[in-house]
């Protein structure tokens, strides 16, 4: 009878320990981070102007045929200002191409932003209406998509890319994809 009573008495303690584990793991997760169904799918079709050259029409054909990063930015996005110097640095230090998507912005503001902060992008797509942004499931700029040589989205990061995110998340995935593609 004794051990059974002990077992029953310890049930609340066990439940408590389990809850601590569950809460602890969910505390580390960012509830704002949403899943995306786009991983494993091609970059959605688009046909939009370039920010720096409004005459130029950009389509999926213009995307690099190598692993690259698709970064969603806007001049109304406060965190983008914090991210921008990092992008300049990474673009300089690593031979990985950055494509910008200027999301729901005015081209005048966008040009001033690039002139002032520097331009880390090969080119920026002017998504004035936000159609490409919605096709990409963008809900909070800055967002960055890692795209492979076949134009397939392999990963998404929501939020600022700083040194920590770059070295812990972005760079390992890019390098893995590059070596995969190099092997083929």
46-54, 90-98, 133-141, 146-154 -> range binding another protein (CB under 8 A): 133-141
> Using the rule CB under 8 A, which residue among 38, 128, 149, 173 binds another protein?
38
Binding mask 100-129 for another protein (x = CB under 8 A): ----x-------------------------
Q: Is 16 in the site for another protein (CB under 8 A)?
A: no
3-state secondary structure at position 178: helix
The C-alpha atoms of residue 38 and residue 136 are separated, in whole angstroms, by 7
Q: Residue 137 CB, nearest distance to another protein (Å)?
A: 4
What is the C-alpha radius of gyration for the chain, rounded to an integer number of angstroms? 22
3-state secondary structure at position 130: coil
Strands 68-73 and 97-103: parallel
Q: Residue 37 CB, nearest distance to another protein (Å)?
A: 5
Q: Is 173 in the site for another protein (CB under 8 A)?
A: no
3-state secondary structure at position 102: strand
Q: Residue 170 CB, nearest distance to another protein (Å)?
A: 21
Q: Residue 51 CB, nearest distance to another protein (Å)?
A: 20
Closest CA relative to residue 80, chosen from 166, 162, 171, 155: 162
3-state secondary structure at position 155: strand
> Using the rule CB under 8 A, which residue among 53, 109, 140, 150 binds another protein?
140
């Amino acid at each position: 009878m004794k051990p059974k009573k002990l077992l029953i008495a310890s049930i609340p303690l066990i439940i408590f320990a389990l809850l601590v584990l569950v809460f602890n793991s969910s505390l580390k997760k960012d509830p704002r981070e949403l899943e995306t169904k786009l991983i494993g799918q091609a970059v959605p079709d688009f046909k939009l102007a370039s920010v720096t050259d409004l005459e130029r029409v950009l389509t999926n054909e213009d995307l690099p045929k190598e692993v690259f990063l698709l970064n969603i930015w806007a001049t109304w996005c406060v965190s983008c200002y914090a991210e921008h110097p990092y992008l300049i640095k990474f673009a300089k230090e690593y031979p990985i191409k950055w494509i910008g998507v200027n999301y729901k912005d005015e081209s005048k503001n966008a040009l001033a932003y690039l002139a002032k902060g520097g331009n880390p992008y090969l080119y920026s797509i002017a998504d004035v209406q936000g159609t490409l942004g919605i096709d990409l499931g963008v809900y909070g700029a800055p967002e960055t998509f890692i795209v492979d040589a076949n134009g397939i989205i392999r990963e998404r990061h929501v939020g600022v890319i700083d040194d920590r995110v770059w070295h812990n998340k972005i760079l390992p995935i890019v390098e893995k994809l590059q070596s995969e593609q190099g092997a083929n």
